[in-house]
Structure formats: structure tokens, C-alpha cells
Amino acid sequence: MHVVRAAERRRGGVGQGVLTDTRFADAGLTRSGGALHLGGAALTAIAEQVGTPVYVYNAAAIRERYRSLESALGALPHRICYAVKANSTLAVLRILRDLGAGADIVSAGEMARVLAAGFAPERIVFSGVGKATAELRQAVRARLGHLNVESVEELHRLAAIADEERIDVAVGIRVNPDVTTDTHPYISTGRSGIKFGVPVDQVLDAAAFIAGHPRLRLTTIAMHLGSQLSDTEPFRQGIGHLLELAERLRATGSHAIRVVDIGGGLGIRYADERSMDPATFAEAVVPLLAPTGYTVYLEPGRFLVGSAGVLVTEVLYRKHSGGKEFVVVDAGMNDLVRPSHYQAYHEIVELEEGARPALRVDVVGPVCETGDFLALDRTLPDVGAGDRLAVLGAGAYGFVMASNYNTRPRPAEVVVDGGRWWVARPRERVEQLFHDERMSP
């Protein structure tokens, strides 16, 4: 086996071996005789048996990412609470639970999933800006590790529930530290003027309320700055604000804060951007946190699972229109919304490499929206009906954001582990989509 360099791959040569470009290497993608393999399994075989579109995840790649972060953090007392929103499929959750991860959830639905996957309640953090009363009550009853409140009103509601249920509750305050991040505005969450977190000037009052309540205990000061961050500076600034607040609260003598939760947001490589290197991340944050004695919680989602997944799709048609070339595939914005919603870039490669010439195309889905595309103005090999493509970096915010728009069943999900693979979630059937509906009173 010889190594295929990215330049060779771009030239469209038939390759064999490990693909060194980090977008491929992080996923565990290899080529053998021109056929794309993920975690040692041939993607064409999976597509033939399971059909397309299908999400395929490489368990080994998830483990590798988790361990790289773990080892970079070293002796710092910490817990990695996987942000379940990135990919909540039970098989993926089980991989992370078995590695020792905790879980960061944002809904009762996610709570049900992580409990079903075997996470211990005390290792679960409940975040989210709009937890409904019923969700707060369920979380209190389940005795989760702690709940990160995001507003003073939510705190008051939680206090009432704790009283009614006669259950003591560990509380974190998610602070809005007003830190600017260089990411898409839809996933920038730590700035002033957006809906997330308790503004810094309300934190002391919120904490005083907690101190005065017999059932509440302030254990955690938290933040989450945003997603797909590649720069460590916002983390350093945010951590600075959190530690300052934690000190002020400690000085009141009313709180026993033991956790500083620095959120998630570690970025991955989709195109030519830098991914967050765990060692660089640790070099930036550990010196700030280690002397404090706090246990540090992290809530990475995308970093752990994003690179590990691909979406396999089949070409339905080619079409020339308005001076442009279109590749119409069987996966649409309902299957992977990131390109249309965030203008996100996902690398697209052939499953079976051929010596086809390259051309500029739009890769579009079957959904009745002009915004239904996977790639615009992209150089791809001249593929035709029946050829299959892999959309890379689809392990995070892929299936979880899929919808049934156009009454399209959501795709199947497959997990590859040690060369074996299984259907972790079967493709939805059309009948499932309307079996509860009533056509008349």
C-alpha cells in the first residue's frame, strides 16, 4: 500500500492506501483499488446492501478523537461531556459512554436517549435556553449531574420545581461572557445581544438567589462560545471571565463551586480551514485552569463525531441547464441541511475512483427548493447516473438535523467498527411518517 498525496487525489488518479489529507485521515478513509473504504469497510458494499442515502460512521475515528483530547488534557481534573445534539444515535452514544464520556443534553428527548444508551444520570449535564417545565421536572427527578440555567426566570422555575418535588438540585449558571468568535453567526453563541446565557451583570444576583434557596446548590459556572472554532483566543478570554466570576462568588462565602464548564465548539477541518489541534487547545487553556483546582467540563460535539461520518449518495441524473452542469443526487437538504442552512462546505468524492475528466458542477438534491444543494460550483469528476458519492465530514449535525420535508424518509445509519459494520438505525419507511395521522375528527 502506498500513500496517496492530496495533490494526486485532486488530479483524479486511482489511488491505493491511506489518504493523507486530514479530512480523510481523521475519518479513517482509505482507498483500495480505487474503492473508498471507511474504517476498513467498503462503502460500495454498504450502499449496495443498505441503499442510499446512508450515513456511515467510523467508531475507531470517534475513539481516536476522544482519546486525543483526553491525553492532551492530561492531569487536569476534567470530564468530557459529549454534546449529544451533534449526533444522538444510540450506537454513537454507546461508543462515547464506553470511553468514559459524560453527556451534555438540551432536551428531554436527548435525556431519554442518553439514559437508554447507559449514561449514568450523574454524568449528564442539561443545557439549553428554553427548557420547558416538564423537561426541568424530568431532569430533577432523574437527578442529573447538574442543570445549566440560562435565565433568571428559568432559575425561578427550577426552584419552584425543586420545592414541589422536594429534591435538591445542583445548578450551573451558563454565563454569556460576551466573547466574539470567528464563526458562522448562526453558531456563534457567546456574544452579548444573542439569546444564550445569563448576562454577566445578572450573574451575582442569580447566584444570591441560589444561595438563599434551600434546595438549590451552585456547583458550576459555565459558558459555550459557539461552534466550529479554530482559534484558542476566545476560549482564553471566556475562561478568564468565568474564573473572575467564580472567584467573586467564592469570596461571598455562600457557594461551593467545583466545576468550570468551558463548553464545546472545537472545530474540525471541512475544507482548508484549520481544525482545533487538541495539543494547541490544551496549551492555551490548561495553564489558566490547572492552578484553580476546579474540575473542568468540556462539551465537544462536532470535534468528536464530525469527521468520523460520511453521507453516501447516488447520482440520479445529469443535467445541463442555463450554461451550468448539474449532478442530481438522491440526498437532499432534508438529509443534510448544513450546505443550505449555513452555506457549509463538505468535500465530495467518488466511491469508486475512475479516470473521469474533472468539471465544474452543482450537486443538487431532489427537494423542491432552489436552496437544496450539497455543493455549488464544485470541481468533481464527470460522474453519471448510478455513480455514488461520499459527502465527507457528515458525522455531526447531519442526521440529527434531517427532516421529512417532501415526505422523504430519513436515511439509514450504519456504524463500522473493526472492519465489521451494522445498521445502527434503519431507513425510515414512508408508512411511519403518517401512521398516526387522522384524516377526520
Q: Contact with ligand PLP (CB under 6 A): which of 12, 197, 265, 381?
A: 265
Q: How far apart are CA 270 and CA 54, in angstroms?
A: 19
> Which secondary structure element, helix H or strand E, spans residue 373, and what is its range?
strand 373-381
Q: How far apart are CA 56 and CA 263, in angstroms?
A: 27
Burial 412-432 (b: 16+ CB within 10 A, else e): bbbbbbeeebeebbebeeeee
Please say whether the beta carbons of 118 and 96 come within 8 A.
Answer: no
For residue 299, state whether it binds ligand PLP (rule: CB under 6 A): yes
Q: Which of 105, 206 has the CB closer to ligand PLP?
A: 105
Candidate ranges 66-74, 299-307, 379-387, 403-411; the one touching ligand PLP (CB under 6 A):
299-307
Binding positions for ligand PLP, 379-408, rule CB under 6 A: 396
What's the min distance (Å) between Cβ of 191 and ligand PLP? 14
Q: Which of 20, 192 has the CB closer to ligand PLP?
A: 192
**x-or-dash string of contact with ligand PLP, 122-161, rule CB under 6 A:** -----x----------------------------------
The one-letter code for the residue type at 216 is L
Residue with the three cell numbers 474503492: 35
Q: Which of 187, 433 has the CB closer to ligand PLP?
A: 187
Strand pairing category for 259-261 and 124-126: unpaired
Candidate ranges 35-43, 115-123, 264-272, 412-420; the one touching ligand PLP (CB under 6 A):
264-272
Binding positions for ligand PLP, 224-253, rule CB under 6 A: 224, 227
Q: Contact with ligand PLP (CB under 6 A): which of 83, 105, 117, 375?
A: 83
For residue 301, state whether it binds ligand PLP (rule: CB under 6 A): yes
What's the min distance (Å) between Cβ of 302 and ligand PLP? 4
Q: Which residues pair with 391 in a beta bridge?
A: 311, 348
The one-letter code for the residue type at 218 is L
Q: Contact with ligand PLP (CB under 6 A): which of 4, 12, 30, 104?
A: 104
Q: Contact with ligand PLP (CB under 6 A): which of 302, 388, 408, 410?
A: 302
Q: How far apart are CA 176 and CA 414, in angstroms?
A: 38
Candidate ranges 239-247, 300-308, 373-381, 382-390; the one touching ligand PLP (CB under 6 A):
300-308
For residue 177, state whether it binds ligand PLP (rule: CB under 6 A): no
Candidate ranges 60-68, 234-242, 244-252, 298-306; the one touching ligand PLP (CB under 6 A):
298-306
For residue 264, state whether it binds ligand PLP (rule: CB under 6 A): yes
Catalytic residue among 291, 368, 435, 441: 368
Q: How far apart are CA 152 and CA 123, in angstroms?
A: 24
The one-letter code for the residue type at 323 is G
For residue 110, state whether it binds ligand PLP (rule: CB under 6 A): no
What's the min distance (Å) between Cβ of 245 and ligand PLP? 17
Burial 142-180 (b: 16+ CB within 10 A, else e): bebbbbbbbbbebbebbbebbeeeeeebbbbbbbbbbbe
What's the min distance (Å) between Cβ of 128 and ligand PLP? 7
Q: Which of 219, 227 has the CB closer to ligand PLP?
A: 227
User: Is 81 assigned a catalytic role?
Assistant: no
Q: How far, CA to CA in Å, does 69 sit from each of 242, 276, 349?
A: 22, 10, 28
Binding positions for ligand PLP, 321-360, rule CB under 6 A: none
- What is the tally of helices (H) and strands (E) in the chain? 14, 22
Q: Which residues, at least 6 apart from 346, have a Cβ–Cβ distance to it below 8 Å? A: 270, 336, 338, 339, 374, 375, 391, 392, 393, 394
> How many residues are given for the chain?
441
Please say whether the beta carbons of 280 and 41 come within 8 A.
Answer: no
What's the min distance (Å) between Cβ of 311 and ligand PLP? 17
Candidate ranges 13-21, 260-268, 320-328, 362-370; the one touching ligand PLP (CB under 6 A):
260-268
Q: Which of 137, 302 has the CB closer to ligand PLP?
A: 302
Cell numbers linked to 49: 446492501
Which residues are part of the catalytic machinery? 368
Q: Which residues of the chain form contacts with ligand PLP (CB under 6 A)?
A: 83, 85-86, 104, 127, 189, 224, 227, 263-266, 299-303, 396
